[in-house]
Amino acid sequence: MSDANSQSASLAPERVATLLGRAAVLAVLLLFMVGWLRAMGRPWVCPCGTVELWQGALTAEENSQQFSDWYSALHVIFGMALFGFVHAMKPHWATGAKLVVAVASSAAWEAMENTPVLIELFSNATNAVPYFGDSILNAIGDTLFVALGFLAAAKLPAWVTVLIALALEATIAFAIQDGFVIGTLRLFGVDI
């Protein structure tokens, strides 16, 4: 066996331990997020009584209640942006370590997004889409979509990532008249 082969074989258990450690940290982050959301009184699933993988209609009783919806694409964009930010701050970190930071950021956002203050802020914005907070199912889906966007950005050239993000934002803007740009303008009182 060559020195390179014996060296890579001896590193395999360390790599497995690192991967298992990161997976454990990701699981703890998700459990913490779920626990926080339950403590905040968020429902496990849509109070409407149905559980769906996709909810495409904007209805007050189901917005942000199903596993995925139009806003899932915004979480993909957020994951892409997190990759760019974390990679710029820590370019030498392994992708798995950067992913842990991205999932922690997403879990923190989900915890904050579902506080009464932010629910009220989003629901009282000019021409806002009805929003009453997320179900835990939706928050888990949102976090998985952040991870998906992060991993896509980690693999794709930056220019492709930017084009995908712009296409997703435009799709949401045309499909439901919302998105990062429109939503931010509404928060500032612009009548859109």
What string of DSSP letters covers 40-72? Answer: TT--SS-TTS---SEE-S--TTTTTTSSEETTH
Q: What pLDDT, on the 0 to 100 scale, is given for residue 85?
A: 98
Angle between helices 158-176 and 180-187 (to 10 degrees): 60
Distances (CA, A) of 90 to 86, 99, 107, 167: 6, 12, 20, 27
Distance (Å, whole) CA 14 – CA 154: 23
Q: Are 106 and 75 in contact (CB under 8 A)?
A: yes
The radius of gyration of the chain from alpha carbons, rounded to an integer in Å, stands at 19
Q: What pLDDT, on the 0 to 100 scale, is given for residue 188?
A: 92
Q: What pLDDT, on the 0 to 100 scale, is given for residue 107?
A: 98
Distance (Å, whole) CA 78 – CA 100: 14
Count CA within 13 A, CB hemisphere, residue 103.
24
pTM of the model: 0.91
Q: Render each residue's pLDDT in the chain as its tens digit; 192 residues.
A: 455 555 555 568 888 999 999 999 999 999 999 999 999 999 999 999 999 999 999 888 899 999 999 999 999 999 999 999 999 999 999 999 999 999 999 999 999 999 999 999 998 999 988 899 999 999 999 999 999 999 999 999 999 999 999 999 999 999 999 999 999 999 999 998
Q: What pLDDT, on the 0 to 100 scale, is given for residue 12?
A: 85
Return the residue matching tokens 């209609």. 57
